[in-house]
Amino acid sequence: MVFVGVVRDVDEPFRIFGGSSADPVTVEFEVSQVHKGDVPARMTLTTAMDGASCGYAFTEGSRYLVFAADYGLGLSTGLCSGNLDLAVESNPFGTGTTPRPAPPSEPGSGPIVVAAGAVVVVAVGALLVRRARSRRRAT
């Protein structure tokens, strides 16, 4: 797929300890032009977290020409895909077609994931405190 769109949201993964430059970042676009493929007006794809793993650094509010493909894990793009920041470079394709209507939006799972992560952190902390106390009593 090839399209022009404005980045509406960049959702980086929640990381407690380190992580990988290859961790997926979810990017949501408001599509204005389509140059190839069946692209909806609202498009979501992934890229790697960092350029070290060929991730593309999208900025919220910026307009891009995006080249995306599905390699079996959903739509993704990367540093070597040919994406262009249209604030810096011009669109070599000119005007594209209108995207198809966006599907109805579904409520995001973001708050649920954050809450679940907080519960895990508290549970692990409580377990570590309990172990430390039991070791002190044993000595």
Q: Are residues 60 and 120 in the same domain?
A: no
Segment 110-132 shows an average pLDDT of 61
Same domain, 23 and 91: yes
Residues 65 and 42 in one domain: yes
CATH of the domain at 81: 2.40.50.120
Residues 60 and 118 grouped into a single domain: no
Of 32, 45, 27, the residue nearest 100 (C-alpha): 32
What is the span of the domain harbouring residue 31? 2-101
pTM above 0.85, yes or no: no
The whole-chain average pLDDT of the chain stands at 83
Is the domain of 71 the same as that of 12?
yes
Give 106-119 pLDDT, tens digit per residue. Answer: 655 555 555 555 56
Say if residue 72 is in the same domain as residue 50.
Answer: yes
| Alpha-carbon span 87 to 68, nearest angstrom | 19
Mean pLDDT comparison of 16-20, 41-45, 90-94, 127-131, highest-scoring range: 41-45
Read off φ and ψ for residue 132, nearest 5 degrees. -60, -40
pLDDT score of 105 more than 70: no
